[in-house]
Structure 1
Amino acid sequence: MDALLIMVVSFIGYIFMYQVYGRFIGKKIFKLAQGAEVPSVVMEDGVDYVPTKKEVIFGHHFTSIAGTGPIVGPAIAIIWGWVPAMIWVFFGSIFMGAVHDFGALIISMRNQGKSIADYTSKYVNNRTRFFFFLIVFLELWIVIAVFGLVIAVVFAMYPTSVFPVWCEVAIALYLGYAIYKQGKSIITWSIIAVVLMYVTVFIGAVLPIKMPTIAGIPPTGVWTIVLLIYAFIASTLPVTTLLQPRDFINSHQLMIVMVLLMIGVVFSAFFANLSIVAPAVQMNPAQAPPMWPFLFITIACGAISGFHSLVSSGTSAKQVRYETDSLFVGYGSMLMEGALATLVIIAVAAGIGMGYVTKSGETLMGVAAWTTHYSSWAAAAGLGSKVAAFVDGSANMLAAFGIPASIAVVIMGVFVASFAGTTLDTATRIQRYILSELFDSVKLTALTGKYVTTFLAVGTALLLAFATGPSGNGALKLWPLFGAVNQTLAGLALIIITLYLKDKGGVKWMISGIPAVFMMVMTIWALILNQGSFGTAHNTLLQVVNAIILILAVWITVEGVLRFFTVTPGGEIASEHR
């Protein structure tokens, strides 16, 4: 019953805070206006700038920011206990993450849909803008390479998910054609699309597809190449061709999975004795870094994530049709992600106790199941381990109300792979925007075309992926840096939002200023600790890159603070096109 109580109380809390705190920020802080000019209308081009219904753009935005982030973060951070994980997800998403996502979205919409890295020059200076570009490029470079690997690993672990995931692409292409070319009903045809997708799930359960080794390249390497080629094609197509319809399907898939998980929690609580088997608090788990500050670095998506500011200001700001829609898209999506992270915490803190099969084939129950999987930081930190903890725990809860375990595993495997695919698509498209803006700023206009910039985005990710061999997992060499890089970006985005609000006068800036201080303290603290641990391990590569990130983070923070004290309310930095 403890798991059920956590779910009910937190979900009520998310709904209440959206209606109260979210609407307060939209109306009183950012002063949203229904008739304000927006980039999707003013700069409409049918490719990137496309005015879109808020329900559709919500689906795109949510599936882009979520990916596997709210799964892998809580699935490893639970090692410090479910209480700190749950507190950070709940309060972080409401007071930090949602403010961060919504603020980045609305400021970008008031700056021609430019990325947060690009409009940094307006709110700080050109030097800071260039440094911001470097951090953003590094983050997206790692994301593209790693998420290609994430999907490859899911395909290898759950070959029954391969057929449904690729069928979803074909279904999405037709859905986009039916809606935008034939004028079909979005609701009706999206429901048809989702039904078809779940038909492929049942087919996939009896038709597993295993990638063979090709030319000496193992399956994960082959899949990584295929997925990066797909990312190139998907990110250069108009958003209405694949990105929007696929994300609309995924948003429905999310709703279905979340409903199934909620039903699973209820049934398991009443009929299968679902209870939390993870410790409430565990300050010193074996081999783990200290909870402070690493809890706030490990759980990013689900609480606050810098990557979200890139989605808000990279793709979503170019598609929101009315300024007032931005609250639902930006703030609402983050709270939905918090709800998903809550279900993940329940799955890995309680669901795993309903049955866990060890590598030796032994089935463990209760506390024994949890302690075996989370015996140490190293045991729980692997990519496959994180995914398995969520998929297996969720499948246990779905089985409580009659869904066969084999089908439940496919449903959850497809869910993880589909969301990772959306993040891969979006990250590649955003990297294209970032490179185009960067080349344009240094007058290299010949390199700003979408095919050139996309080739550079995918090509550099491919080089990183295969830097250590044919398995395609080269990006894992830099993965230990990702959490700190991502949360540094979140803190820097909050600094920009704070400067924007400072110019508006009064104490509005505190809405983002207090979260900005917290995030910069946590991330710089983590970067300093990382520098020491990388040095102790004699890992020169990570030590050098981490030092560069640390210097950039401190530099931009100092520049932001100095700028804060020179901003006068009503000054020139908040002059907007409307």
Structure 2
Amino acid sequence: MSTLLIALGAGALYLLAYHTYGRFLAQKIFKLDRNAEVPSVALNDDADFVPTDKFVVFGHHFTSIAGTGPIVGPAIAVIWGWVPALLWVLFGSVLMGAVHDFGSLVVSMRNRGQTVGEVSGRVLNPRIRFLFLFILFLALTIVLAIFGLVIAVVFKSYPGAIFPCLVQIPLAVAIGLWLHRKGMGLMVPSLIALALMYLSVVFGDQAGFIHSFNASLAAWPIANWVAFLLVYSYIASVLPVWTLLQPRDFINSLQLVTALALVVVGLLVSAFVGGAPIGDSELRPSLEIAAPAFRLDAAGAPVMFPFLFITIACGAISGFHCLVSSGTSSKQLRCETDAQFVGFGSMLLEGFLATLVILACVAGLGLGIQGSEGQLLLGSEAYEARYSSWAAAGGLAAKVGAFVDGAANFLKSLGLPAQFAVALMGVLVASFAATTLDTACRLQRYVIQELAATFVKKQPSGRVQVSANPFSWLTNKHGATIFAIAIAFWMAAIPPEGLGWEWKNVGKGGMLLWPMFGATNQLLGGLAFLVISFWMWRRRLPVWFVVIPTIFMLVMPAWAMSFQLFSEGGWLAAENKNWALIFIAIATMALEVWMVIEAFLCWPKAKGVLEQALEPLDKGAASTEGGRSC
């Protein structure tokens, strides 16, 4: 019963936070105006800037920010006990994550849809812009490399998820054309898409052609999958958002939200009548929390402080979200007041997802899993089998598997077949990762174009001058995107220690980058908060609720990264050093220190002084805001 009370209490907390704290920020701090002109209208190009229904933007935003982060992070963080993980998710998502996402979205909308990195050059100074964009480039390269590998691992572990995930692509294109060209409402295509996607899960691994299709693709080398997924990301990121990105994310969100609703119903049934019957008997195991509340002595685990706060990123606060808010979502909102629903609301839903992941891992597993020798494990034995040590819980397959098995147990308590339950959870994980992958590729394209434009002269019209300059081809969306996926593939292709650069080894060592993902991701959150703080400080808005999270999110990841680099047994002390990992870590820390020093010097001069205004869209129009940067 305690498991159910936690789930219901978390849901109530998030609803309360949305209608109180979220409304306070929207109305009293950011003063959202329904009649204000938004970037999607002012700069409508029918490609990146497209006025869109808030529910479609919500679907895109939620599935893009969620990824596998709120699944993988909490699934391993419960090794320190379920209480620390749950508290960080609940309070981090409300007081930090939702504020961070909402603030990034509003600041970007008020700056014609510019990314947070681009805005930083005006609200702080031009040097900050370059530093921030370079950090974004490093972080997104890791995201693209990691998530390509994540999806490959999920497909190889759960082949039944392959066909349902692939069929979403043509379905999304059809829905996008229907909505955009025919001007249809959302209800009919939504119901059709949802029905087809669930049918693809039910029949997506049946004996026959489809089963053979899944099995043959599951046998692909990881390198094949990474290459295929990055090519798909290139196509998705250069197409207009309404053709694939928006409809895919929207129909994915329908399936994912309904799947989460099924998990909640399964949890409810499990709490009252127990899990699925054991074997041929009518005995149903009771739903209880099988994990300890606190566990600070797990074998091989790093210290909880600061690593809890970088292990759980998405689900509490994630720097990657500022890129989605300012990179794509701000260019699609057709009304400024929709920002609370999309920015604040999506993060709270992700926090609820992370809460369900925690409960699946600490209680759902206890309803029964198969041991290494085929025996049935229940309760604390099931938890210990997956979390006996940091090494046992640390593998990607183990992290994903803990959630999939635990959540599938909730579904099986409803009487759903085990094969369907496991396949649906596998599809959920792979779909979240896929939507993050194609969004991250589009965001990386924006960042590369903005960086390249720094080194290329512009014509009086503001257009980039195409010349012999080696950076000019990176200002083109195709050139920037090809460069993005090429660098990501190289990073993902790092072979394991002791093995050569052969195709069969490609990708197997790329997961060495995973330790950098959490720290770099969280550092981005701190830097985004820094930009939001300055934007508000210049307008004499209250900053108390963003300054504290800013400091926290700058200190924690830097502490964790320093520990990983310089501690005994750290990356610099390793016999076989991963120089790519070391270079990215040192470069990121150096850039952070530089940015913080610049911000510290600028802060006293910035209060009440508006940054330089953007050039008016109409050459003869007067500027509404003036000022200077530090």
Q: Shorter-normalised TM-score: what interval?
A: over 0.9
1:333 pairs with 2:346: yes
Deviations 1:219-249 (A, max 9, x none): 3221111111111111111110011111111
1:154 pairs with 2:154: yes
Deviations 1:350-399 (A, max 9, x none): 00111122333232111011011001111111111111001000001100
Partner of 1:236: 238
Partner of 1:306: 319
Output the CA distance in 1 between the equivalents of 2:588 and 2:474.
26
1:384 pairs with 2:386: no
Deviations 1:75-128 (A, max 9, x none): 010111110101000000001001100111111111111111111111112222
1:537 pairs with 2:574: yes
Letter in 2 for 1:105: L
Shift in alpha-carbon separation, 1:400–1:574, aligned structure 2, 3 A: farther
SS in 2 for 1:342: helix
SS in 1 for 2:292: coil
1:527 pairs with 2:561: yes
Partner of 2:620: none
Letter in 2 for 1:561: F
- CA offset at residue 551 of structure 1? 1.4
SS in 2 for 1:572: coil
Letter in 1 for 2:346: S
- CA offset at residue 558 of structure 1? 2.0
Q: Which moved more, 1:2-11 or 1:564-573?
A: 564-573
Listed as ranges, the matches of 1:114-193 within 5 Å are 114-193=114-193
Partner of 2:589: 550
Partner of 2:539: 504
Deviations 1:528-569 (A, max 9, x none): 111122223243513333222211112212222222222121
Aligned mate of 1:248, from 225, 250, 258: 250
1:422 pairs with 2:422: no
Letter in 2 for 1:248: F
Listed as ranges, the matches of 1:6-155 within 5 Å are 6-155=6-155
Shift in alpha-carbon separation, 1:577–1:81, aligned structure 2, 3 A: farther
Letter in 1 for 2:583: V
Output the CA distance in 2 between the equivalents of 1:77 and 1:574.
44
Shift in alpha-carbon separation, 1:360–1:222, aligned structure 2, 3 A: farther
Q: Mind listing any 5+ residue stretches in structure 1 that lack a counterpart?
A: none
Shift in alpha-carbon separation, 1:571–1:118, aligned structure 2, 3 A: closer
- CA offset at residue 572 of structure 1? 3.2
Partner of 1:194: 194
8 A Cα contact 1:211 1:219, kept in partner: no
Partner of 1:517: 551
SS in 1 for 2:565: helix
Letter in 1 for 2:435: T
Q: Mind listing any 5+ residue stretches in structure 2 that lack a counterpart?
A: 275-285, 457-470, 496-500, 615-622, 626-630
Output the CA distance in 2 between the equivalents of 1:289 and 1:574.
47
Task: Compute the RMSD of aligned alpha carbons.
Answer: 1.7
1:292 pairs with 2:305: yes
Deviations 1:40-85 (A, max 9, x none): 1000000100011111100000000001110000001011111010
- CA offset at residue 211 of structure 1? 5.7
Letter in 1 for 2:235: I
Letter in 2 for 1:394: A
- CA offset at residue 570 of structure 1? 4.4
Letter in 2 for 1:465: A
8 A Cα contact 2:163 2:214, kept in partner: no
- CA offset at residue 306 of structure 1? 0.4
Deviations 1:8-34 (A, max 9, x none): 011000000110000101111111111
Output the CA distance in 1 between the equivalents of 2:328 and 2:72.
24
- CA offset at residue 254 of structure 1? 1.9
8 A Cα contact 1:146 1:473, kept in partner: no
Shift in alpha-carbon separation, 1:536–1:256, aligned structure 2, 3 A: same
8 A Cα contact 2:613 2:624, kept in partner: no
1:447 pairs with 2:447: no
8 A Cα contact 2:197 2:255, kept in partner: no
The structure with the largest helix share of the pair is 1
- CA offset at residue 213 of structure 1? 8.7
Q: Which moved more, 1:217-226 or 1:412-421?
A: 217-226
8 A Cα contact 2:123 2:611, kept in partner: no
Output the CA distance in 2 between the equivalents of 1:185 and 1:327.
23
Deviations 1:491-548 (A, max 9, x none): 0100111111111215x11121110011111111112111122223243513333222
8 A Cα contact 2:138 2:584, kept in partner: no
Listed as ranges, the matches of 1:402-441 within 5 Å are 402-441=415-454
Q: Which moved more, 1:56-65 or 1:197-206?
A: 197-206
Letter in 2 for 1:24: F
Deviations 1:162-197 (A, max 9, x none): 111111111111111111112222121111111011
8 A Cα contact 2:493 2:509, kept in partner: yes
Partner of 1:227: 229
